[in-house]
Chains A and B, each alone.
Chain A
Amino acid sequence: MSSLVQIKDVTKTFHRGSEDVPVLSGLNLTVAKGEFLALMGPSGSGKSTLLNLIGGLDRPTKGSVSIGDDRVDQLSERALAAWRARHVGFVFQFYNLMPVLTALRNVELPLLLTHLNKAQRREHAETALKVVGLSHRLKHYPRTLSGGEQQRVGIARAIVTDPTILLCDEPTGDLDRKSGDEILTLLQTLNQEQGKTIIMVTHDPHASARATRTVHLDKGQLSTAQPE
């Protein structure tokens, strides 16, 4: 399988006042197209930081981040925004839906960044909501949906543009076991049936069991040996 994500010698150091906070130090990671990777590690180990570097929300202090043919760490701000819109679907722990928009409108939001016209946008959004099993909730506002349903709207929003990669930061972290399992099943289906490449941060061994591969982040390094 061809590699989609290539992270080489990545170092990330935050600055808090005059203090340096090293989070990642010389980290390497390769993710193949079609993989469902679980990223685990203790709290504060830098999982979200790594995910943000892959998703082009932040830049490494050193090293390179390539997704497909793009050197994400070298794109300009403007190009990066366009790149995210085109290639990345984010799923957040707390869903991050717009409270004033209906489920349908929330899912339609990323399509405003495409060439699609209004009717096409609506059609795509409806399809995405159908994939996550929420066809009956199109007109519902986030506050009237359960946590599990909100996260499914979040996933619909992430897949509606058919991105190259799905990045999920503790997608089940705020859900009960049952809803969490439903979300994991959904992600697994997306991976297996649509071949979506997924990187999922999680604390939960239950969740990582659904992935095709698990890596552990500790002390700035990926601690388990990766299969080459």
Chain B
Amino acid sequence: MNWLTQVFAVALFNLRSLPERKGAAVSAAVGIAGVAAVLVGVLAIAQGFRSAMTASGAPDTAIILRSGADSEMTSNFTREETRVISDAPGIARGANGVMASNELFVIIDLPKRSTGTSSNVPLRGVGVAAFDVRSEIAMVQGRKFELGKNEVIVGAGAARAFSGLDVGQSIKIGMNTWNIVGIFTAGGGLAESEIWTDAAVLQPAYNRPEGYQSVYAKLTSAEAYDEFKDALTTNPQLKVKVARLSDHYAEQSTSTTDFITTIGVFIAAMMALGALFGDLNTMYSAVSARTREIATLRALGFGAGPVVISVLTESLALALCGGLLGAGLAYLAFDGYQAATMNFQTFSQVTFAFAVTAPLVLTAVVGAAVLGLVGGLLPAIRAARMPISSALRESA
């Protein structure tokens, strides 16, 4: 027998009778839409954070920290050590000489625009080569700081998130006043959450005349990395760890993204449980509303298979509608939404944009489909098991 025709016909006319049960159908779909929206929303946060972090690092750029340090916060170098590092093979050269930037990293307190409460912002002292090393840096307003002056430039994300960071304003920290002379972008990367100045000015201000915390180096190519790394790690004068910047940031972002994802998935799972019962309930009532119809089909000789599949199809269709609706709403509401959060590695704020990506939407829709199938399974089995003769006795 043409089983597929059977299945198709039964599933199709069952779907066409859906409008008669639209109240329950809509509420089931909305429940699933809620799950999808939350899931997409939360994953979009994690995704946005991750891409802000990974956009920060090119594979041909390396960061050098003292071995044992897990972030710039806990790393330190003397001027002599940074000089040895700059001599390593594989570092690119440009107009400003060796493309290695010795950097200093401190945290300052600034009021957030949104709440007015103060929060940590990284203030980074960089070398002349910093703009060659991070070629994605672009001034969008004002100019770069001048060497040797108390001037800073502010990342676009930081300027957005914190008040008092517009060009022409100044920041007072302790005895020092820093004039804001420009705003820069960094391709959406982490540097956009930072404030930059000349390392040579920052050192005395923070009482570290000869000290640095990290070196950022641009290599001649991504392939030059291994040789560069070996040269540094085997040099007896140094105790360093070397990482590609892209890997470094990816690693830095994992704890935060894992944290966000775990919480998000937990919330979504709780909601999914609720939606599952909603769907189960809807499908049970759909089956009971169709009792006589199903019994009639069975009396005519239709097998249990088409009946099961028709119930599953209905549940799946509702779930897919819900999933797409939820993902769509999440996209409209969240995609590109600017936010700031704590980077737990450096305890400073990272600004980033929520990113609702295609794989995320797919995840939500697949999740919804699974919910739909699971929610439809028991009602479908009940429909197929229903004794025909007593089901026929039910009044319409």
- A interface residues, Cβ below 8 angstroms from B: 48-49, 52, 55, 57-58, 77-78, 81-86, 88, 90, 92, 94, 96, 98-101, 105, 109-110, 112-115, 157
Contacts and interface: CB of A to CB of B under 8 A. Distances in A.
A113 B300 contact: yes
Contacts of A113: 1, 6, 300-302
A105 B10 CA distance: 12
Contact of A109 (B2, B300, B388): B300
Contacts of B302: 81, 85, 112-113
Main secondary structure on chain B at its contact with chain A? helix
B169 interface: no
Interface in B268-326: 292-293, 296-304
Given A57-B392, A94-B396, A100-B17, A112 B303 contact: no
Contacts of A109: 9, 297, 300
Interface residues of B, number: 27
A116 B85 CA distance: 83
Contacts of B5: 112
27 contacts: A48-B393, A57-B299, A57-B389, A77-B304, A81-B298, A81-B302, A82-B301, A84-B299, A84-B300, A85-B301, A85-B302, A90-B300, A92-B392, A94-B395, A96-B292, A96-B293, A96-B296, A98-B13, A98-B293, A100-B13, A101-B13, A109-B297, A109-B300, A112-B2, A112-B6, A112-B9, A113-B300
B16 interface: yes
Contact of B303 (A48, A49, A81): A81
Given A48-B393, A115-B1, 15 more contacts: A48-B389, A49-B389, A57-B388, A84-B300, A85-B301, A90-B300, A92-B296, A92-B392, A96-B292, A96-B392, A98-B13, A98-B17, A105-B13, A110-B300, A113-B6
Nearest 3 interchain pairs by C-beta: A85-B301, A58-B389, A96-B296
B94 interface: no
B389 A85 contact: no
B387 interface: yes
Contacts of A90: 299-300
A14 to B, nearest CB: 9
A202 B303 CA distance: 29
B13 A86 contact: no
Given A94-B396, A112-B2, A113-B1, A58 B13 contact: no
B5 to A, nearest CB: 6
A100 B9 contact: no
Given A85-B301, A100-B17, A58 B296 contact: no
A48 B299 CA distance: 14
